[in-house]
Amino acid sequence: MSLITLQLGQCGNQVGGQIFSTLVDDIFAKSTGLSNKENQAYMQSSLEKFFTQRETAGRDGSSSLPMARAVLVDMESKAISHTLQQAKKSGRWTYCAKRSYHQKRGSGNNWAHGFCVHGPKSHEDVMDLVRKEAEKCSRLGGFVSLMSLAGGTGSGVGAYITQSLRDEYPHSFILNQVVWPYTTGEVIVQNYNAVLTLSHLYDTADALVVMENDTLHKICNQLLAIKNISFEDINRVIAHKLTSVLQPCVSDSAGGGQMCDLGSMLEHLVPHPQHKLLTIKNIPQMSDVAREFSFHQWSGLIKNLRQMLIANAPMEEGINWAIKPSSRTASGHTCFNRSLSSLVVLRGKDANSVDPFYFTDSSIYTPWMPSDMTCCVARQPRLFCEYEKSAALVSNSRASVQPLNRIIDKAWTMFSTRAYVHQYLKHGMTEEDFLDSFVSLEKVVASYDNL
Amino acid sequence: MTQSVIVQVGQCGNQIGCRFWDLALREHASVNKNGIYDESIGSFFRNVDGRHDDPADIPVGTGTGKIKSLKARAVLVDMEEGVVSEMMKGPLGEVFDCRQLLTDVSGSGNNWATGHHLYGTQYKEQISEVVRRAAEFCDCLQCFFVLHSMGGGTGSGVGTSILGLLEDEYPDVYRFVTAVYPSSEDDVITSPYNAVLAMRELTEHADCVLPIENQALVDIVNKISQAAPPTRPGKRVFSEHAVKPDSALSTGAGGVVKDEKPFDQMNNLVANLLLNLTSSARFEGSLNVDLNEITMNLVPFPRMHYLIASQTPLFCSADVKMPPRRLDQMFTDAFARDHQMVRADPRHSVYQACALMVRGDVQLSDIRRNIDRLKPNLHFVPWNQEGWKTGLCSVPPVGQPRCLLSLANNSCIHQTFSEIRDRFSKLYKRKAHLHHYNQVEGMDSGQFADSLESLTSVIEQYRDLETAMNQPVVAEPRLKVFS
């Protein structure tokens, strides 16, 4: 099964480049913990999923390097040309430069400019590129769209293109990976843009994986011990998270032995259309140096990961162990992070023999979910990115409600003064469009609150 | 990539323009060592084959062609010949050709009405033609930068008439105005009239105005020269705080124009402002800021589009033994009163929005740390507590490892405007010089009152931000949904 990645906007393109480079790092990693034959199968399966390969170098001198199954979209050229260059410089993989689409003038952080102007203008060309890429897949497993919520192109054009994808591929799976902006200081109108994007994506995408810059920043700082954090560092964490889930693994469910593909993951994780927000938690995460000198037990990792879920901790450091599924607030409400469903991906040494009973416990899930449908486990005995043991948890839980609430709050406060609204109306939006988006997100918040 | 056209009007506008082109060439020469005509240099310059009489453009193409001959994407307008013809005779003359110029000999007599109504109408066709020519050379025109003073007649009058023309003919192209406000000791007696009449045009027709006060520029230049005693030929000056020769924001060292004229240092500050403002649109960076993002993020309400700029650091120390100034100091200074390009104090007033645009070796985490550090001491309007826009451009300015441009939409601008209004009112009460204006065709006495009212409403809008800060915030409750 192959996945096509859409890189939308500056953020989407930067993240995309990093994801493919992390994939290649993992595919060609030195220590794998597998026999050569098993490892070949893993490599083949991953390459097939994310890259197209040619057996020999083309006659025109083109390389035989793996070529990412990606479509690059931005409204200005700089980010794309930088991403193409970086890939070329790596010497290990490339993009197909023909699969990129850019205009001359950016969307200027204006969602309406992206959605109402650039989107309709570019969607035919972009869908054409997607079609060409899809024709190269013997089995198309779905789409992964990468974008930020803050800017204009990623968010505005991204929302439009996702809609077009849905129209043209009604039965394919679409996973949108959205980068949640820093709380302060990236783009001032980011909360408007985020509200508009999320409400539109909620109608079209199968699931949204939420990556918060603030938490990623903390991970870089505290777990990876990076002093001067750049966007590259942040993107590397995003790539690590996403690939830790998407790289080949085998699911335990019904009959077992099934390759865990995007479709079955999303079917399991999103049992209800009002609940589409996913988060990914990883353990362990550490700097390369620390990794060489550390040793982990599966039992410890799993136990920590579960508590990260319950206490909604973004990382293993500073988990609040006092929170338990049984604890209640004074008013009788549950105060832990209740989930709807989860997917645990275990990778590395002895991954096949780990008992995930910590996650099958029905008390951490909402009561109306049948207990045999709450947790799915997938395994892969191969080391992931040279981690001896590592686990990733994709969860559909209340965790995303907090940042969502924050964004709605701020956007609403701003909207009540109508600040900046004129800039959106200029491109054909109306105040009702804003209100519709607010309403649909309030519904999302309400349905997560009711878990 | 997009292109911008600079429209320089009047004596002041052309002097600033002259410094801008010199420094723009210097900057691109330092980045683009191989003399390749790429998209980055193409944003301000055309590449032409100079052998022809009417040189044709050589397009960027694959971005590997050599630079033949550069022509500035500029329109030069003045109602006197002096400044423009001097510029044409100087070393910068090559980057312009005569089809980009429009001059008269008689001057506007420091009268906005003469500039705006008389010359504005008389030269409308010609101006439109010159601008059209510049616009047609661009394959994606993003922005017009209009440079002029507010005190004189040509700059304020013809400048604002061109602004209206641009709005009519290029509604989708942004209009940024760099407006130099007269200081109170200005020798033009009618400058308050000109400034107020022009202000109304700026409020209504510009997307974004960068107000600059002459006096503030003088103060900054003095601050720099105090740190760097002037070097006399034959005598080396040893000082602990000596400024690295080409690092000061006010210096033109390394440019093609060798002899320094009065005002050059001040104008270099403004030229650098334009370079730093556009750097993130021209060069690569991990967080690009295109020009359309500036208005999008910094202009919450259409008429409140006046942005106060500050640039730091003013210079680098030449003494290698001195520890480099802390990076954080650059951020602190950007909010200090004595670094602003108008004499105002944003730190003690109310911010609607603020942009921090960094160039050079600064990391994302440096910006984040400094925002967290500075934020508690700044006042933002309640509905925009996180009103920060940030940009990271990887190409540093010439002579410095890094720099910061801060743009603030801040209530303190109302003091600057009130000062001008007071000076206007003093003359207007006595009807002094009014007849010079009213005798110009197209001018009617209502325009004075209207302009005054327009300015007053802007002042009040900004002042209201401050009064609102002292009142309790009543938040509108969020929408309720029933599921």
CA angle B209, B446, B440 (to 5 degrees): 85
Q: Is B39 on the interface with A (CB under 8 A)?
A: yes
Q: Which of A11-25, A248-262, B285-299 has the highest mean pLDDT?
A: A11-25
Q: Are B195 and B458 in contact (CB under 8 A)?
A: no
- Residues of A whose CB is below 8 A from B176: none
Q: Decide if A121 touches B, using CB distance below 8 A.
A: no
Are A135 and A161 members of one domain? Answer: yes
Q: What is the pLDDT of residues B401-437, one digit of tens each?
A: 999 999 999 999 999 999 999 999 999 999 999 999 9
Nearest to B179 by CA among B162, B187, B168, B171: B162
Both A394 and A289 in one domain: the answer is yes
For chain B, the average pLDDT equals 90
Best residue of B139, B278, B296, B407 to probe chain A, by most A CBs closer than 10 Å? B296
CATH number of the domain enclosing B444: 1.10.287.600
Please choose, from the candidates A163, A189, A141, A146, the residue with its C-alpha nearest in 3D space to the C-alpha of residue A2: A141
**Which of these three, B367, B397, B414, is where a domain ends?**
B414
The verdict on B273 and B295 lying in the same domain is yes
Query: Which chain B residues in 344-383 lie under 8 Å from chain A, judged by CB atoms?
Result: 352-353, 356, 363-368, 371-372, 375, 382-383
Same domain (yes/no): A298, A313? yes
CB contact under 8 A, B296 and A422: no
> Is residue B218 domain-resident?
yes
Residue of chain A minimizing CA distance to B367: A185
| A78 and B CB contact within 8 Å | yes
Q: Are residues A344 and A257 in the same domain?
A: no
Identify the helix (H) or strand (E) that includes residue A375. Answer: strand A375-380
The model's pLDDT over A145-198, given as tens digits with 9 standing for 90+, comes to 999 998 889 999 999 999 999 999 999 999 999 999 888 768 999 999 999 999
Structure-model confidence comparison of residues B321 and A224, the more confident one: A224
User: Residue B100 belongs to a domain with what CATH number?
Assistant: 3.40.50.1440
B478 CB-side CA count, 13 A: 20
* B381/chain A closest Cα distance in angstroms: 10
Question: Nearest Cβ partner of A106 from B39, B292, B387?
Answer: B292
Q: Is residue B482 part of a domain?
A: no
CB-nearest partner of A414 from B297, B383, B388: B383
Q: In the predicted model, what is the mean pLDDT of chain A?
A: 91
Give yes or no: residues B116 and B171 share one domain: yes
Q: Which two tokens stand for residue B413?
A: 């601008």
Structure tokens belonging to residue B357: 């645009």
Q: A230: which chain B residues are within 8 Å (Cβ-Cβ)?
A: 286, 363-365
Which ranges of B175-234 would DSSP assign to H, the alpha helix?
Answer: 191-205, 214-227
For B73: left if phi > 0, alpha if psi spans -120 to 50, otherwise beta; the answer is beta
CB proximity A114 to B under 8 Å = no
Q: Do A10 and B479 touch (CB under 8 A)?
A: no
| Residue B251 and residue B295 in one domain | yes
Among A278, A306, A329, the domain boundary falls at A278
Please tell me the distance in Å from A451's CA to the nearest CA on chain B: 12
Is the same domain home to A268 and A203? yes
Residues B313, B326, single domain; the answer is: yes
Q: Report the gap between the CA of B298 and the closest CA in chain A (Å).
A: 8
The answer to whether B296 faces chain A, any CB pair under 8 Å, is yes
B86 min Cα distance to partner chain A (Å) = 36
pLDDT of B184 reads 81
In a domain, B479, yes or no: no
If pLDDT is split at 50, 70 and 90, which confidence band does B240 have?
very low
The reply to whether B475 falls in a domain is no
Dihedral angle sign, alpha carbons of residues B90, B93, B98, B104: negative
Say which CATH number the domain at A366 has.
Answer: 3.30.1330.20
**pLDDT computed for residue A152 by the predictor:** 87
Q: B290 and A10 in contact by Cβ < 8 A?
A: no
Say if A422 is an interface residue toward chain B (CB within 8 Å).
yes
Among B40, B297, B394, the residue to mutate for chain A (most A Cβ within 10 A): B297
Residues B284 and B252 in one domain: yes
Count of the separate structural domains present in chain B: 2
Terminal-to-terminal C-alpha distance of chain B: 48
For residue B476, what is the DSSP state? P
Domain that holds residue B457: 415-470
Q: Which residue has the higher pLDDT, B113 or B476?
A: B113
Of B72-81, B99-108, B274-283, B314-323, the range with the lowest mean pLDDT is B314-323
Produce one character per residue of A21-41: b if its CB has 16 or more CB atoms within 10 Å, e if not: bbbbbbbebeebbbeeeebee
Residue of chain A with shortest Cα separation from B480: A442
The last residue of a domain, from among B367, B395, B414: B414
Asked if residue A6 lies in contact with residue A161, where contact means CB atoms within 8 angstroms, the answer is: yes
Q: Is the pLDDT of residue A16 over 60?
A: yes
**Domain finish residue from A375, A398, A421:** A398
Residue ending a domain, among A360, A375, A398, is A398
A128 C-beta neighbours (distance < 10 Å), count: 12
Is the residue at B215 inside a domain?
Answer: yes
Q: Determine contact: A222 vs chain B, CB below 8 A.
A: no
pLDDT at B242 > cutoff 80:
no
B464 and B346 housed in the same domain: no
User: pTM for this structure?
Assistant: 0.91
Span B295-315, pLDDT tens digits? 999 999 999 999 999 999 888
pLDDT band at A59 (very low <50, low <70, confident <90, very high): low
In chain A, residues with a C-beta closer than 8 Å to the C-beta of B1 are 76-78, 104
Q: Which of A181-195, A269-283, A308-322 has the highest mean pLDDT?
A: A269-283
Instruction: Give yes or no: residues B143 and B92 share one domain.
Output: yes
Please give the average per-residue pLDDT across A421-428, as a whole number: 95
Identify the residue whose tokens are 């509905």.
B383
- Facing residue for A185 by CB, picked from B284, B292, B386: B386
Q: B292: which chain A residues are within 8 Å (Cβ-Cβ)?
A: 105-110, 113
Q: Is A79 on the interface with B (CB under 8 A)?
A: yes
Alpha helices, H only, A226-383: 231-246, 262-269, 288-292, 298-310, 357-360
- Same domain membership, residue A97 and residue A36: yes
Structural tokens at position B268 = 């270099």
Percentage of the residues of chain A whose pLDDT score is greater than 70: 96
Nearest CB partner across the interface for A231, out of B287, B480, B483: B287
| Lowest pLDDT segment from A351-365, B364-378, B389-403 | A351-365
Q: Indicate the residue among B414, B438, B454 that finishes a domain.
A: B414
Which residues of B are less than 8 Å from A150 in CB distance?
Answer: none
Provide the 3-class DSSP secondary structure of residue B52: coil
- Number of structural domains found in chain A: 3
The reply to whether A16 and A115 lie within a common domain is yes
Domain membership of residue B477 (yes or no) is: no
Q: CB burial class (10 A; 0-12, 13-18, 19+) of residue B404?
A: buried
pLDDT above 90 as % of chain B: 68
Q: What percent of chain B has pLDDT over 70?
A: 94
Confidence check: pLDDT of A45 > 90: yes
**Residue B478 in domain:** no
pLDDT at B234 over 70: no
For residues B269 and B223, state if they share a domain: yes
Please tell me whether residues B116 and B178 are part of one structural domain: yes
Q: Using 50, 70 and 90 to split pLDDT, how confident is the model at B237? A: very low
Residues of B in contact with A75 (CB under 8 A): none
Average pLDDT over residues A311-326: 87
Contact status, residue B24 vs residue A126, Cβ threshold 8 Å: no
The range of the structural domain enclosing residue A9 comes to: 2-56+64-278
Read off the CATH number of the domain in which A155 is found. 3.40.50.1440
Query: Which residue from B286, B383, B388 is facing A184, i.e. has the nearest CB?
Result: B388
Q: Closest residue of B to A405, CA-based? A: B478
pLDDT at residue number A260: 83
Q: What is the greatest pairwise CA distance in chain A?
A: 73
Residue contact A187–B297, C-beta within 8 A = yes
Count of CA atoms in the C-beta half-sphere (13 A) of A73? 34
Q: State the average pLDDT over residues A359-363.
A: 87
Which is higher by pLDDT, B75 or A373? B75
| The pLDDT of residue A58 is above 60 | no
B208-226 mean pLDDT: 92
> What ipTM did this prediction achieve?
0.88
Residue B30 covered by a domain? yes
pLDDT digits (tens, 9 = 90+) for B318-355: 655 555 667 899 999 999 999 999 999 999 999 999 99
Q: How far from chain centre, in Å, is Cα B287?
A: 22
**B180 in the same domain as B51:** yes
**pLDDT value at B155 more than 60:** yes
- CB-nearest to B140 from A105, A232, A423 is A105
Measure B354 CA to nearest chain A CA, in Å: 9
